Amino acid sequence: MERRRLLYTLKKQTFFHTSRLSFNQGIVSSLLYTGSSKRGLADLRSPLEPRVFPTSGWDNIDPSLPVEEESIPSYRPEKFYPAHLGEVFNRRYQVVGKLGYGSSATVWLSRDLLDHHYVALKVYTASTMVTREIEIYNHLSTIQSTHAGQSCLRPLIEIFQAQNPGREGVHTCLVHPPLGISLDQLTRLLPDRVMSSAMVRTTIRNILAALDFLHTDARIIHTDLQPNNILLGIKDNSILSEFEKAEFEAPVPRKILEDRTIYLSRPLPISCGTPVLCDLGEARLGTDQQKGDIMPDIYRAPEVILDMSRDYKVDIWNVGMVIWDLFEHRHLFKARDPEGKLNDEYHLAELQAVLGGAPPQLLAQSERSPHFWDKNGEWKGAVPVPDYTLETLEERLQGDEKADFLRFLRRMLCWLPEERATAKELLFDPWLMHGLFK
């Protein structure tokens, strides 16, 4: 099993070295994007016959060892659909390999036997409510827009339900076009585990284009921007056929249990397509005056921490946080106490250090602010404000380049949401446009 894992790692690294040049040179060459998010009409070819998968040739994992989704603290086997390689969902999607897993779903590369191409099949747990995500996709299907940012947003092909065999659970299944690895996975393979300035610019142009479409035409707030939710596009589908071929020649290790088989995920190689914004499971309809806990904990905007009403500018804050994580060697904020527990007071103290003092108009809108600031706006929390600034935390750049980069970040990382730039305004920022028209 360890030998095969090593082989997978070596294959990933080899592909990275051959495709890295294309990515560094830029996935797009201008602020204009091409491509369609609409699914084409099914061709007239005969349906494919399901393939018969190997019945041996893999490494068996010790049943006592937790693997993949079993390692999630909240894992309950009866909630996960027991998918197996070769299984056909909805009479058309045959599973050919496992792409990944999470606390609420597993994701599988599948062959569309009717349309003769590959899809990504996301099978949710029986307990997961997918109502909001379906509502968002239904709303997007009604939008009549020519906005180019649509091509930087992952579309939905189909939604259907699957009955859990032998159990009463019903699982929602979402079918998407297949995409490559996430930016979180990509940065782990890069030298020093961070992106170059050029790679960050290329990526963020696409994400801002997607957000401009969501905010202006669709009136949707994403709320969950993070490197895990930005995936590389696939320009050459041969990596998918090679993925399927590898399953026949060297099947992934698996743990065979009485009622299910737990497969190891097979990593995709690096692809060099356009970065695409994914996962609308936490998105919200409407872009004004909303409340409630949203966003990944260390990425939360000030208005979310302070339990204030919020609007689409929380996404702009998120973009700044993503940029920092892609380019720097550490998170901008820890938001944790010495015991490692999420702590708002520690988080706000870090914000005070990086952003400076909170403006009175922000504090006046929050019922929580008197816990952390006095009536004059002075920090009174028991946690001391760290002795650093945004300038001292940024260590990769020098001179004018550093000043331009931090100025760009400060257009997003503002206490007051109304002071943050819009996605469209950021697209034309000098730092982001640097080198675009050479």
The answer to whether the CB of 435 falls within 8 A of the CB of 198 is yes
The answer to whether the CB of 126 falls within 8 A of the CB of 143 is no
pLDDT digits (tens, 9 = 90+) for 304-314: 999 999 999 99
CA angle centred on 188, ends 182 and 189, rounded to 5°: 95
Q: pLDDT-based confidence at 40, cuts 50/70/90?
A: very low
pLDDT at 327: 97
The answer to whether the CB of 83 falls within 8 A of the CB of 123 is yes
**Six-digit token pair at 145?**
């827009």
Closest of 274, 120, 303 to residue 208, by C-alpha: 274
The answer to whether the CB of 195 falls within 8 A of the CB of 407 is no
pLDDT at 28: 29
Asked if pLDDT for residue 5 goes beyond 80, the answer is no
Q: Where are the alpha helices (DSSP H) in 261-389?
A: 302-305, 313-327, 344-355, 360-363
Catalytic residue among 112, 115, 212, 224: 224
What is the mean pLDDT of the segment spanning 26-32?
Answer: 32
CA 117, distance to chain mean position in Å, is 24
Asked if pLDDT for residue 173 goes beyond 60, the answer is yes
Q: Which CATH number fits domain 180-235+271-437: 3.20.20.140, 1.10.600.10, 1.10.760.10, 1.10.510.10?
A: 1.10.510.10
pLDDT at 309: 93
Count, in order, helices (H) and strands (E) of the chain: 13, 12
pLDDT digits (tens, 9 = 90+) for 368-425: 999 999 999 999 999 999 999 999 999 999 999 999 999 999 999 999 999 999 999 9
CA angle centred on 18, ends 13 and 23, rounded to 5°: 100
pLDDT at 44: 58
Any idea where the domains of the chain sit in the sequence?
Answer: 180-235+271-437
Q: pLDDT-based confidence at 272, cuts 50/70/90?
A: confident
Pairing verdict, β 170-176 and 117-124 = antiparallel
Residue of 16 and 358 predicted with greater confidence: 358
pLDDT at 127: 81
Does 38 carry a binding-site annotation? Answer: no
Our answer to whether residue 224 is catalytic in this structure is yes
* Residues of the chain above pLDDT 90, percent: 83
Asked if pLDDT for residue 16 goes beyond 80, the answer is no
Residues facing residue 262 across a β-bridge: 255
Name residue 78's amino acid: E
Residues facing residue 106 across a β-bridge: 101, 123
Mean pLDDT (the chain, rounded): 89
Instruction: Report yes or no on whether pTM surpasses 0.85.
Output: yes
Q: pLDDT-based confidence at 438, cuts 50/70/90?
A: low
Residue of 11 and 170 predicted with greater confidence: 170
pLDDT at 311: 95
pLDDT digits (tens, 9 = 90+) for 58-83: 999 999 999 999 999 999 999 999 99
Residue of 189 and 10 predicted with greater confidence: 189
Q: Which residue's structure tokens are 């009479």?
A: 91
